[in-house]
Amino acid sequence: MKEELTDNGFAELLTPAQVDDQLRKEGTTLVMINSVCGCSAGSARPGVLMAVANSEKAPDYLTTTFAGFDIDAVKKMREHLLPYPPSSPAIALFKNGELVHMIERHQIEGRSAQMIAHNLIAAFNAYC
C-alpha cells in the first residue's frame, strides 16, 4: 500500500521533523495521508496517481504519510491541516506551507478515482 505511492515518486514523511521541514519548502507540496481502508485503495491512491500523471501542472513535491503506521508524522501533519478534523485517507495541497486545497475522507468515499483525479487536477491548475 505504501509502495503504490513510493514507487511512483512520492517521498515518505516518517517523522514530525520531516513533515515540518517539507512544509517549510517554497513551492507546492501534495500530501496523501494513506490508509488501509478500501476507499484509499479504490479511489484515493489511484486518483492521486491519475492526477499526477495526467495534469499539465503538477506539485513541486509529492509526499505521503501513512495513518496507523507513521503515527507521530501523521499527528504532526494533522496539526498543519487544522481546522479540518482528522481524516484518513485525505489529500492536501500546500503552497509555500499554506494549506490551499483539502480532500477529506467523506469526499473520497463513494467517489471514483477519476472524480478524485479531476478534483486534484483543478487544484493543480489553480495553485501549481
Candidates 5, 19, 31, 39; catalytic one = 39
How far is Cα 112 from Cα 74, in angstroms, rounded to an integer? 25
Annotated catalytic residue 39: yes
Candidates 30, 37, 73, 91; catalytic one = 37
Annotated catalytic residue 128: no
User: Which single residue is written with the C-alpha cell 500523471?
Assistant: 53
DSSP state of 10: P
Q: Are 67 and 14 in contact (CB under 8 A)?
A: no
36-74 burial, b if ≥16 CB within 10 A, otherwise e? ebebbbbbbbbbbbbbbeebeebbebbbbbbbeebeebb
CA atoms within a 13 Å half-sphere pointing along the CA-CB vector of 30: 27
Where in the sequence numbering do the catalytic residues fall? 37, 39
